């Protein structure tokens, strides 16, 4: 084998392997930064302490209950933060340097409603680990129908506490790149596509 000729191939393979590892690590880090929400089902594992392992669902108040340490507020905290909190609580009174691993077994369903002049209106569930935009949601609802007024798409968003806000979005500008606002969809958003006035 000619080492000089094979060196670029080896370097390319090595670079691909490193990039793949970095992408995998980045994906793992993104999951660690996921903020827990009510109805999420998580598995808490305590290394070499199988009696303490639990699958628990986050309550509507954003709490979980674990053996020995009891109630813990996890709502709005990331997986990484909850791992650190559980580690500190077990370390304080019960275990020496415990190793905690928490994974999400089942995410809270995240729905967005797409109504009006689209080909398949209705409620859509979207994956919690990735964000989707208004255009993505409309696409998943079959896209605009031939009567759609794409310049006056309405987004209705309800915030915690009940405050409601309405936005009018020019989807043509979004699709052409003329608008820099991505309009990322949040849980329970309602998207309404009106019909054009003929």
Mean predicted confidence (pLDDT) in 42-50: 94
- pLDDT value of position 39: 86
Q: What is the mean pLDDT of residues 63-67?
A: 95
Rounded CA gap, 130 and 133, in Å?
10
pLDDT bin (cut points 50, 70, 90) of residue 160 is: confident
- 26: confidence class by pLDDT, cuts 50, 70, 90: very low
Is residue 124's pLDDT more than 60? Answer: yes
Structure confidence at residue 72 as a pLDDT band (50, 70, 90): very high
Segment 144-160 shows an average pLDDT of: 92
Average pLDDT over residues 50-63: 93
**CA dihedral in degrees (182, 184, 189, 191; nearest 10)?**
30
- Residue 162, pLDDT > 50, answer yes
Residue 12, number of CB atoms within 10 A of its CB: 10
The span from the CA of 69 to the CA of 98, in Å, is 13
Whether residue 37 has pLDDT greater than 70: yes
pLDDT given for residue 181 in this prediction? 84
Q: Which domains does the chain have, with CATH numbers?
A: 41-106 (3.30.1950.10), 111-193 (3.10.560.10)
Comparing 147 with 29, the larger pLDDT belongs to 147
Q: Could you tell me which of 73, 76, 74, 70 has the C-alpha nearest to residue 90?
A: 70
Q: pLDDT tens digits for 166-183? A: 999 999 998 888 878 889
The span from the CA of 197 to the CA of 1, in Å, is: 72
More confident residue, 167 or 11: 167
Average pLDDT, the chain: 84
Q: Which of 95, 52, 89, 59 is nearest to 74 (CA)?
A: 59
Start-to-end Cα distance in the chain: 72
DSSP code, position 182: -
Predicted confidence at residue 23, as pLDDT, reads: 42
Distance of CA 39 to the CA centre of its chain: 14
Q: 12-16, 26-30, 99-103, 124-128 — which is least confidently predicted?
A: 26-30
Count how many residues are written for the chain.
Answer: 198
Residue 194, exposed/middle/buried by CB under 10 A (0-12, 13-18, 19+)? middle
């Amino acid at each position: 084998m000619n080492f000089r000729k094979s060196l670029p191939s080896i370097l390319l393979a090595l670079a691909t392997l490193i990039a793949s590892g970095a992408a995998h690590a980045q994906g793992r880090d993104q999951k660690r930064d996921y903020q827990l929400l009510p109805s999420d089902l998580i598995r808490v594992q305590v290394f070499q302490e199988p009696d303490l392992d639990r699958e628990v669902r986050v309550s509507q108040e954003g709490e979980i209950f674990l053996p020995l340490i009891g109630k813990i507020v996890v709502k709005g905290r990331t997986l990484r933060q909850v791992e650190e909190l559980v580690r500190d609580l077990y370390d304080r009174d019960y275990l020496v340097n415990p190793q905690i691993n928490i994974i999400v077994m089942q995410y809270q369903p995240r729905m967005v409603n797409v109504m009006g002049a689209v080909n398949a209106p209705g409620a859509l569930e979207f994956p919690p680990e990735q964000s989707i935009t208004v255009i993505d949601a409309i696409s998943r609802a079959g896209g605009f129908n031939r009567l759609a007024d794409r310049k006056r798409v309405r987004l209705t968003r309800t915030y915690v506490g009940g405050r409601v806000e309405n936005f009018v979005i020019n989807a043509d500008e979004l699709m052409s790149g003329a608008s820099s606002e991505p309009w990322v969809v949040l849980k329970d958003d309602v998207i309404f596509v009106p019909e054009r006035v003929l």
